[in-house]
Amino acid sequence: MQHRIIPQPNLLDYTDGICPAERAVPVVETDEAMPPEGYALAVRPDGVTVRCKTPQGLFYAKQTLSMLQNENGSLPCVSIQDAPRFAYRAFMLDSARHMQTIDEIKRYIDVAARFKMNVFHWHLSDDQGFRIECERFPKLNEVGSFRDGHGFGSSDTSRYGGFYTKAEIRDIVSYCADRFIRVIPEIDMPGHTKAILASYPSLSCRETPIAVETQAGVFRDILCAGKEEVVSFCCDLLDEVCELFPDEWVHIGGDEAPKNRWRQCDCCKDRMAKAHLDSFEALQGDFMNRIAAHLRTKGKRAVAWNESLKSGCLDGDVIIADWMDRDKLCPARANAGGEIIAEDFFHYYLDYPYAMTPLKKVYTFDPLPEGLTEMGRPGVIGVETPLWTEFIEDFEKLCKMAFPRLLAVAERDWTYEENCDYADFRRRAEESRPWLQSQGVVMDPQSAWDPKGLSRLKKLLAHYKKTLTRDMLLSFFSKKDD
What amino acid positions are annotated as catalytic residues?
126, 192, 256
Closest approach of ligand ACM to the CB of residue 433, in Å: 30
For Zn ion, the binding residues (CB under 5 A) are: 205, 224, 226, 265, 267-268
- Strands 125-126 and 88-94 turn out to be unpaired
User: Of the two residues 126 and 247, which places its CB atom closer to ligand ACM in the complex?
Assistant: 126
DSSP 401-427: HHTTHHHHHHHHHHS-GGG--HHHHHH
Sign of CA dihedral 388, 299, 285, 368: negative
Rounded to 10 deg, the angle between the 395-402 and 102-114 helix axes is: 20
The length of the chain in residues reads: 482
Q: Which residues of 350-373 are buried (b: 16+ CB within 10 A; e: fewer)?
A: bbbbbbbbbbbebbebebbbeebe
User: Which of the choices Zn ion, ligand ACM, none does residue 352 contact, using the CB cut-off of 5 to 8 A by kind?
Assistant: none
The shares of helix, strand and coil residues in the chain, as percent rounded to the nearest 5, are 40, 20, 40
User: Which of the choices Zn ion, ligand ACM, none does residue 323 contact, using the CB cut-off of 5 to 8 A by kind?
Assistant: ligand ACM
Closest approach of ligand ACM to the CB of residue 472, in Å: 13
CA 200 vs CA 139, 207, 210: distances in Å: 7, 9, 9
User: Of the two residues 341 and 407, which places its CB atom closer to ligand ACM in the complex?
Assistant: 341
User: Which of the choices ligand ACM, Zn ion, none does residue 268 contact, using the CB cut-off of 5 to 8 A by kind?
Assistant: Zn ion
d(CA 469, CA 54): 43
Residue at 18: amino acid letter: I
Closest approach of Zn ion to the CB of residue 288, in Å: 15
Burial label for 171, CB within 10 Å (0-12, 13-18, 19+), is middle
Q: Are 184 and 247 in contact (CB under 8 A)?
A: yes
d(CA 49, CA 23): 11
User: Which of the choices ligand ACM, Zn ion, none does residue 256 contact, using the CB cut-off of 5 to 8 A by kind?
Assistant: ligand ACM
User: Which of the choices Zn ion, ligand ACM, none does residue 305 contact, using the CB cut-off of 5 to 8 A by kind?
Assistant: ligand ACM
Closest approach of ligand ACM to the CB of residue 333, in Å: 16
User: Which of the choices ligand ACM, Zn ion, none does residue 470 contact, using the CB cut-off of 5 to 8 A by kind?
Assistant: ligand ACM
User: Of the two residues 107 and 470, which places its CB atom closer to ligand ACM in the complex?
Assistant: 470
- State yes or no: cis peptide before 190, omega within 30 of 0: yes
Closest approach of Zn ion to the CB of residue 210, in Å: 15
User: Which of the choices ligand ACM, Zn ion, none does residue 461 contact, using the CB cut-off of 5 to 8 A by kind?
Assistant: none
Closest approach of Zn ion to the CB of residue 226, in Å: 4
d(CA 48, CA 24): 6
User: Of the two residues 324 and 355, which places its CB atom closer to ligand ACM in the complex?
Assistant: 324
CA 112 vs CA 149, 322, 440: distances in Å: 31, 21, 14
Closest approach of ligand ACM to the CB of residue 255, in Å: 4
Q: Is 56 helix (H, G, I), strand (E, B) or coil?
A: helix
Which residue in the shown chain puts its C-beta closest to ligand ACM?
255
d(CA 307, CA 329): 9
For ligand ACM, the binding residues (CB under 6 A) are: 255-256, 305, 323, 470
